[in-house]
Structure 1
């Protein structure tokens, strides 16, 4: 049955395949649209909706005819009419509508637009109700997406959804206000201004009105911000970027909203750009007509009363002189400013009440003409008398005449708020926190100042990591790069700033920072105790708290674990550089041995990155390389082998210092290992391991020539070193290659060589020989009993020894591979006996060997599949899936899903087959596994063809072909050839598209 496509939004349309369907009369078409929305309806509902003005008999007759017309035009199986009361759409029918996308703002067009039935008011009322509901839902969805776009600074989406809302409600000034504000917060001032002008023209043209006062004020505020920020950028060596949301908040503070705060305190860490932000505030305030009086507080001046007010009084004196408004306060002001030159005794008569009255009089007189903005930089160093005067003038004059914009450091926040307590109690203080620049803001700054680095993603990431987005560190580094070329070194000015931050630390605090500096990331107290054994736990925690109070380090809670890290990487690097190399190297050595011991005890690879990092730190490169090889060997065992046997616990590949070892890292390390000079056993062993890792990787990727070269080299070195385990591992890679390309002779040769090598020096030789005899001569039950006895003998009174476990694992693996060879050699019964024996070995070995047993069950499923017993095959594949599904990183899981999907497809259950194959595709792609993915794509292509989904079939075919060219598996090639032939047969309209040239 061809697909039925129904368009309900915009001008409605119905298509059966490529043919447009036209109903003989509109009420039959309306009935079908109603059913597309409701899915299931009662006959009475339809009659009332469409034939309510007619008698019951006539209504029923016309409904029957409408049902007939739908079945005639679209297929008799489309409607289910069992019984005499209800009609429903067949859920199995290939029907696709756009109803599910009704709330999407992108879904243009009204519901059933321009579709009307003369004198059918009930239907029109129902359709209009649907339209109203959908308009509301679309508007709500568009508003949510617009707000999300504003948070994510996605200007394109912000414009898209705001345009949708404004088109729906073009005269809503509240909506314009909100949208303009969002644009301004993101720094899109031009868009906000354009929006205002559009509304102004529309109101003038359509209603002969002007925008409201609030909207006009917002426009002026945004226009002022645009002019001020652009002028500021033109005058700065390094552009003032980012802080758009904060600037908009500052603009709102200056705009004088009734009941708002009179103090805006800008808080941030050292170097966060507080002073630059105040300069922007001064520009905004000047543009808004404020009189700006600026001063700065200094640590050295906190003992001198009214020191910060000297600059303000100086400016007030000049202003009062210019405007001749000083009055009696002028003489007192002059006396205050020239106290040292006044006649003897006069200065002594200056008291605080006199200064306060003078300040109030001058500020009151000046504020009658223009509002005043006081700007205090580093207000945390303000003396107590200055704080008292500041509180007094702010409370007396009120925010409609006087505002305070100030900056404070994070460590001085408590002291500042304490000095502003009277204002704080009246809710007159707002705090604006300047966070470090985000990665996006850092990229914007780099693009504006160093355009040559705009496309260098890695270098931009390194710059961000080196500066942590701190405005000062970032500005200094970019200036250095502009002068010297790309570098990550710190400027002298940066070093001076860090040195100043670290001044005043006690010896113990410096030692604590020195110990923390050698760690690559977060640090636990227990690890610090290893390096500071003379400091007890409580004293160490007190030292860490003290360093937190100075904002040099921060506490990080990970689950229930409390950890510590430097606030800035630059601090860590500086401390490490200043520390003696001998002490740093000793710290690394202590930690490397500690983590190594823990890794050997727990057998967990998650500790390997720390071991490697610290061995590199103490320059023990041989041991660092050895652990890198071990880590990569285990990682790529999981990634490149379908049924891995792991000797370390690879718990979470995404955690730890340094991330998962990617292919480029592996190639780089391989180059380092291969270039090592000398022929010592340790160096040759590392070269053996590296050849094995590279060979396995290339074979798994279908790069057979390189892979076989490295495996052959690995076999040579393994024989030289008499390393049986590695020799067997290389044999298995030869077998895996043979399986991929179905080279049965190669598989047979290396399986036999592997089994003989396992038996050669193993103390279990007799057990293995006995098992082989049973395989040849005994029944399945006898074989299972023999196997249990041999495992019991190996175990003795306790658990199996590690070497015995490894021998059984190796023997079971080669026995499984022998089963595969026998299966493809057309000896099904012998193959199944061999595979059951291997499965029982893995079962007897217990936990950790589930992938091996699952592989055996999967091969037995293959045997069932070859015999046409598809449902039995699926049963075995599902057992295999159940054994390993808790570890989705195992590639074999994707293979099991693929085989189960193929068997279900062959059994005629296409729907379930697709479900399993899509699971296989997902698992294999997540793991980056190529082998098996090409067959999965070929099978999905065939399923798509059976469902008449030619577009998907074509895509799947080409993806499968591309992968198959690398893997060269004969079975997959046969499937793809079948798909090619089926595609060629799909209709005259596809002959040109799927001709011989397209599928050669």
Structure 2
């Protein structure tokens, strides 16, 4: 059955079998909409609606033409049913659905109402149709609002605050003068303790009613507002009573000293406590006020609220009312003239009906000295009885007129028994700056800056807040990391530390406070902070510019505004400038608030930008980690796994390649290391992720490429640890798959890993096969970067088969080739060290031990110069062996000890058992037999892991030398008898067999 869907709420549209219908002109569309809503009508009614300004015949002619055009819109489908010459309806055989029908037919439906009926739709010269739209619109809107009110009543009974907030906001969106909705929303916020949000709602309705209707909110809203203020004061007082105070000793002493001067009629100053949100300004102020005597001083405390900076002099009105009422209780009298002047600024001074005092009026009055003089006069008169302490909290939200007045009074009334105690956030505010400039000029203010607590302070804070706790050092460090020493966040975390979810949540109180930091942002400011929140450390300004597509100069202005608000701050690394949030919780709040689709898109875009900065000739693991983070948050599983594999490869390449290419400085590589457990865990993780990815993506090019990467890492790892069967299977599969998708780099890598296996097992026959494969592939595909690696493999092969002269010449050719190419020299520096080592091995096999030692020293010097530890252990081992055969056992021990210290960090590394074998021999010669046995046992175990003939043969060599001395020395026999229980001949024969393979049988006669 054909289906027509008509959307009439908000922006209208029509589809026929899911294809959008375009109407030839407006009145055809209007006729159709009218039929869709009313189902049946008459020709006369349609003529009256759409052509009332025409004569009857002309109107009917236009109607006939419109009906014909309507049929054409639906491919001449017979969508109309003409019962007779006068009645018109839609064909019931065609399925017609509308959002209006869905809304009307279900008395509980509200989601279908997505906006007003036919929003923005209009038809020229059709007043009756326009009237019909308006009436229908109001009718449907009335139903919608009624249903929302019913939902609100239901959710109020359930205390389902999230739904109450949602429905109240929907009513306000559709009826901005609906005071009942504002009231319910205020109550909703009040009941949740979200007082800042409740005050904002009150300010919104007050502003709308004042600007549009010049009236104030009704008495019920005023009542709720006063309840909110009372709750704030109650919570404030409770916090004062219940919370403890930590630190700030220096600041307390300074406030007390300043106040003491004031009480003793000495020259004194007002006090400004400044610091970031939640740093403890209020708590410090409360601590001070609790400590002073209230008998001889009037105290007025006034909170300035966000969003109230448009209400001129509101803080002062509250202050004056407080002080006047207190003074009247002490029977203070005020001249009639003064009362008259004040009543002009504060109507009905004994009441609080002063909300509509206009900003323009205040500015004009402030220009007249009478205003300042009047306020000053009343403060002087009240101060005649007692000294006055006026406290203004959060003056960053005080209106400009009030700050100007405050500045004037601080400068002029300091000797008149009045002192001000102010708190203020440390964000930039031009009005606060002017206040500080004017008051500092006359030395009238003491500014106290509160800083965050240090890690040690946080530990002490926790121990004082929770005595005898068993909180671990790790948890304390985590709390410090999350709070960054901010008192508010620290207190909140301590309140939830024992909750089942631990500290990995953001409390509603945190969210409420953080929300207040961002509510007055412009759209462009919001874009910037959202983009900065994508980065878990710092955000490059270059990426911000690319993502926002905002003019660079405008971006600079926006960033400076956000820095003034202490939301963002700049940091630099070298010549590059970055942005970050002033507190990690600001970032966390913004990032949590992003919709998932926005996170996906933005994180993915950031990832693609970062990818472009990767140099193909380097392996930047830090960028890889950033890409993993962004692609994970973008739910881009393919690219996320790709860079997980790449980052793992960088680390394991350094550990598992004997002579890896060097892309970074020595500090970078000194931090690179995974032990056996971590390596296994990481490999298991990426293999499992690949399985899950293939279940979704199938065998796509991307998943095949990832599988090749993983096979390479796993195969190399297994070969290094001597699990040759599984390792070779991985590498062979990798080569086959790489050939299928023409991944040439990994075909070459596969050949290299097969050659490494052959080197470890002394399999020269297979080795030359893969060396030749490599040379042919390099030639066919012009992969010049790999030539030097295969040249060294060829040289090594020649050495292994005893062609020493050819091998040495090829090694020197490698060295010369690398030294000529300055561009890649540093990357391949370990290849040069390896070549010197291999030449040293030639000299050893020729029994030129001194010459061999010199070549080993060259290899060691290269590693020491570059501070690279991964290869030096092999060179030190060989140097130690050469020194041993030179008869210098002290030098031998020196090199072998250094090598073994490095080997402790590396699992399954060739050469370790040789170092232990010769340490066993040296200890044996020094008659440290138990130490010798310990080294020998370890060497025996290690040599059987990699199954390298040279290593196995070396262990058997040591066993034979010790066994040969057992019969003539009982001490030796007592230590070694249980371990060396075979005949001497067996040790010699087996040892010679293995050492012949590596051309080192001479050692049995040395």
TM-score normalized by structure 1? 0.56
Is 2:282 aligned against 1:275?
yes
Residue by residue over 1:26-53, the C-alpha shift from the partner in whole angstroms, topping out at 9 and shown as x without a partner, is xxxxxxxxxxxxxxxxxxxxxxxxxxxx
**Equivalent residue, structure 1, for 2:533:** 517
**In structure 1, distance between residues paired with 2:944 and 2:768:** 30
Secondary structure of the 1:599 match is coil
CA shift, 1:733, in A, is 4.3
Q: CA deviation at 1:995?
A: 9.8
1:358 aligns with 2:338: no
Matches within 5 A, 1:97-496: 240=244, 244=247, 246-251=248-253, 253-254=255-256, 265-283=272-290, 293=299, 295-299=301-305, 300=308, 303-304=313-314, 306-307=316-317, 309-310=319-320, 313=323, 340=348, 351-363=374-386, 376-380=392-396, 381=398, 383-390=403-410, 394=414, 406-411=422-427, 415-416=431-432, 418-419=434-435, 424-425=440-441, 429-439=445-455, 454-455=471-472, 457=474, 467-476=483-492, 479=495, 482=498, 485-486=501-502, 488-496=504-512
Which residue of structure 1 lines up, in the alignment, with residue 609 of structure 2?
Answer: 594
> 1-side partners of 2:468 and 2:821: how far apart?
62
Query: What corresponds to 2:834 in structure 1?
Result: 855
Tell me if 1:668 matches 2:685. Answer: yes
1:563 to 551, 554, 578: 578
1:795 corresponds to: none
Contact 1:268–1:434 (Cα < 8 Å) also in 2: yes
Q: 1:280 to 1:812 in 2, by over 3 A?
A: farther
Counterpart of 2:80? Answer: none
Change (3 A) 1:383 1:840: closer
Residues matched between the structures, number: 692
Q: Distance in 1 between matches of 2:271 and 2:973?
A: 71
Mapped to 1, the partners of 2:974 and 2:441 lie a distance apart of 77
Contact 1:691 1:711 in 2 (8 A): no
> Are residues 1:715 and 2:738 paired?
no
How far apart, in 1, do the equivalents of 2:925 and 2:255 lie? 66
Cα–Cα, structure 1 residues 537 and 821, in superposed 2: closer, same or farther, change >3 Å?
A: same
Tell whether the 8 Å contact from 2:860 to 2:875 is kept in structure 1 after alignment.
yes
Contact 2:240 2:286 in 1 (8 A): no
Instruction: Please name the residue that 1:803 is paired with.
Output: 783
- The correspondence of residues 726-741 of structure 1 with structure 2, limited to 5 A, is 726=746, 729-730=749-750, 732-733=752-753, 736=756
Distance change >3 Å, CA 305–CA 489, structure 1 → 2:
closer
SS in 2 for 1:351: helix
Q: 1:540, CA displacement in angstroms? A: 1.4
User: Equivalent residue for 1:115?
Assistant: none
Contact 2:815 2:835 in 1 (8 A): yes
How far, CA to CA, are the matches of 1:887 and 1:981 in structure 2? 42
Please give the secondary structure, in 2, of the residue aligned with 1:504.
coil
Distance 1:850 1:279, change over 3 A: same
Q: Is the 8 A contact 1:552 1:567 kept in 2?
A: yes
CA distance in 2, matches of 1:279, 1:880: 69
Match of 1:878 in 2: 857
Cα-Cα RMSD = 5.8
Note if contact 1:718-1:726 (Cα within 8 Å) is conserved in structure 2: yes
Counterparts in 2 of 1:942 and 1:393: CA distance versus 1, 3 Å: farther
**Equivalent of 1:689, from 696, 703, 709?**
709
Q: For 2:645, which of 605, 620, 629 is the aligned residue?
A: 629
C-alpha distance in 2 between matches for 1:317 and 1:954 = 96
Residues of 2 paired with 1:991 and 1:293: CA distance?
Answer: 93
Structure 1 contact 643–890 (Cα < 8 Å) conserved: no
Task: Describe how 1:930-969 pairs up with structure 2 within 5 A.
Answer: 969=951
Query: Taking structure 1 as reference, are residues 951 and 719 closer, same or farther at Cα in structure 2, changes over 3 Å only?
Result: same
The equivalent residue for 1:644 is 660
Asked if the contact 1:267/1:434 (under 8 Å) is kept, the reply is yes
- Alpha-carbon separation, structure 2, partners of 1:604 and 1:944: 43
The residue aligned with 1:888 is 867
The 1:822–1:296 alpha-carbon spacing in structure 2 relative to 1, beyond 3 Å, is farther
8 Å CA contact 1:466–1:488 kept in 2: the answer is no
Shift of 1:544: 1.1
State which structure, 1 or 2, has the greater radius of gyration over its C-alpha atoms. Answer: 2
d(CA) in 2 for partners of 1:665, 1:311: 69
Give me the whole-angstrom Cα distance separating, in 2, the residues matched to 1:416 and 1:750: 81
Distance of 1:403 and 1:956 partners within structure 2 = 81
Counterparts in 2 of 1:388 and 1:581: CA distance versus 1, 3 Å = same
Judge conservation of contact 2:849–2:883 (CA < 8 Å) in 1: yes
Within 1, Cα distance between the matches of 2:337 and 2:922? Answer: 95
Q: Closer, same or farther in 2 for the Cα pair 1:524/1:348, shift >3 Å?
A: closer
**1:754 equivalenced with 2:770 (yes/no):** yes
Instruction: Determine if contact 1:268/1:409 at 8 Å carries over to the other structure.
Output: yes
SS in 2 for 1:266: strand
Mapped partners of 1:373, 1:964: distance in 2 = 84
Q: Is the 8 A contact 1:692 1:711 kept in 2?
A: no
Shift of 1:240: 5.0
Aligned mates of 2:936, 2:323 — CA distance in 1: 82
Equivalent residues of 2:666, 2:868 under 8 A apart: no
Tell me the distance in 1 between the aligned counterparts of 2:504 and 2:517: 21
Q: What stretches of structure 2 of length at least 5 have no aligned partner?
A: 1-235, 352-369, 982-1006
User: Helix, strand or coil for the counterpart of 1:488?
Assistant: coil
Residue 411 of structure 1 and its aligned partner are, at CA, apart by: 1.6
Q: Does 1:575 align with 2:582?
A: no
Cα distance in 2 for partners of 1:940, 1:330 equals 104
| Partner residue in 2 for 1:206 | none
Per the alignment, do residues 493 and 905 of structure 1 end up closer, same or farther by CA in structure 2, a change over 3 Å counting? same
Residues 791, 814 of structure 2: 8 Å contact kept: yes
Pairwise CA distance, 1:494: 3.2
**Structure 1 equivalent of residue 556 of structure 2:** 541
Structure 1 Cα separation of the partners of residues 325 and 979 of structure 2: 82
Change beyond 3 A, Cα 1:833–1:502: same
What is the distance in 2 between the residues matched to 1:423 and 1:469?
31
User: How far apart are residue 682 of structure 1 and its match?
Assistant: 4.0
Deviations, residues 860-884 of structure 1 (Å, cap 9, x unaligned) = 1133345554432232123334555
* 1:409 CA displacement: 0.4
Taking structure 1 as reference, are residues 420 and 632 closer, same or farther at Cα in structure 2, changes over 3 Å only? closer
Instruction: Give, in angstroms, the shift of residue 405 of structure 1.
Output: 5.4
Q: Distance in 2 between matches of 1:530 and 1:317?
A: 62
Shift in alpha-carbon separation, 1:956–1:556, aligned structure 2, 3 A: farther
**Distance (whole Å) between structure 2 residues aligned to residue 966 and residue 440 of structure 1:** 48
Q: Point out where structure 1 has 5 or more consecutive residues left out of the alignment.
A: 1-231, 365-371, 765-800
